[in-house]
Structure 1
């Protein structure tokens, strides 16, 4: 692991296990035992060693010194869910550009667990990755939000960089869609067709994509002078089952609504299934909108109105940032989104209820 020289030359040196042992006031063997696990070490000693590891930004890596000034050609990509078509599109764009630059892409699946994301970043640092791309919204975990910027700074010290895909962070490059603006478009579209009782199937709490898309809908309702009914908002996982379960909760509540705003297309598909099971027709009885414009929507009947997010282009731009060797401050690119009208929305019925 590279760190600044104490003699003022500014030239990176290598942090060794001996440096960690010296700071923690233990032997190198004890440091090794703490790092490897499975050995009896007191809690106080373990705390001192772990503190020293963090302070010195030490990463176990047998090849670190030999590779200190070389590019490995490796780019790590950490996504939330490998089974989600949204991330498949982003990864396709990343791979497309990586192939032109002869880069090796290593894919990591965090399942939206903040601890897993941080561990993957550390492992990729240990492998001397040229860049780490984190795809998906930010997770609102306090420790994660404090630790991730530090990981980005440590990557920069190694001559690497962190790129955020779908979110932003002060210490990293970012490519993201206009989530709030797209949700505002959908809200205004539904309002323009007479819908006033709009139910929302939102994403998981403490998640930036959930917050941004919900905020866009809120803004559209406020601008139209429509009060939000808290009983018409149900959260769920960003998945087909998450949308299905949330829609069933709405239906069981017997709350009145004429349209459903789903936080993404997979949730919209689940909601569509739940509405059909309940004997409700889309859009005759209830209008339905999604978000992202996943390719699978081409085969859905009725076609679902949604917002098109340029997922592949997001991946391409992230990979170009990853391959860039220019020394510069982190930059952010926000990509526009567009409304895609299909058959799942109709004017609100005269009786504003389900």
Structure 2
């Protein structure tokens, strides 16, 4: 969950609002139902980031705008060593952009598919780091809702949670994330999930399986890891480990120095291959060959669209156009560099004011008068 060092260097002197032109597009590394992710480099600072971009029209058509805006609102208020932290958001007439920490180690799903064997000590360490992230989110009244290997990214040090934050929900609480943590830890250790289900399995069958099917714990696993997994995978949420303090009370984790874990001073048990990009290479091929509106040609495409009086050849009905205009108006622009600089400047001004006030008080208390000016 550790952060890449590229996003921890000094704050850029140029803290103006950023836009697409401030970044050099390097390569595509992932995609979702209506969004894609690429590696970018900020031209002024040379820092590397991951940039997620979402097509506005697709978001509107699929009624996802509210979720995107909620994600933007939540992420701008979060910053933690074991979260993929949010740096910038901006838009153009086609897309919404989110720029976040870049982690080149790939996600845990990718490494499972590469038949990586995670040792018990490595999984134990991952559990501790993810637990610290969940504790931070809980203090922010946030349920992650999607803890799984796909959303745990690696750099050269450790894993890190990515995306899918959600507020509290009346039907479940924070315990759901700890259940997912147990499922993830089990899969990392064994290479398969404790419950075999499919995406189309009915909900009632899933619930029955949780009560009737008991996960298999191989004899080679230590009693400590078995106890941890059983308490995380307890079907009764009231009896499940569901907070950091309960986890820390376990004998199995009594040897963990939590401050050392948080400061990422423990050497990782698994190191991703630094000589290659740990992701599916087909994303890059699809972007270059199959994508009708490739990102690297955006500037020319938008310029041509402007010359053609704003027509892109795809007429939209009035309702869709109104919703697109609403997205343009309500989109949240964010710049963490600028926010940090503003905060530092404010703290410096407050400190200077306090020091000046204290100096005046000290002078009055000690009956010290200003020295007279001397002329030569």
Shorter-chain TM range is under 0.3
TM-score, with normalisation over the residues of structure 2? 0.23
TM-score, with normalisation over the residues of structure 1? 0.24
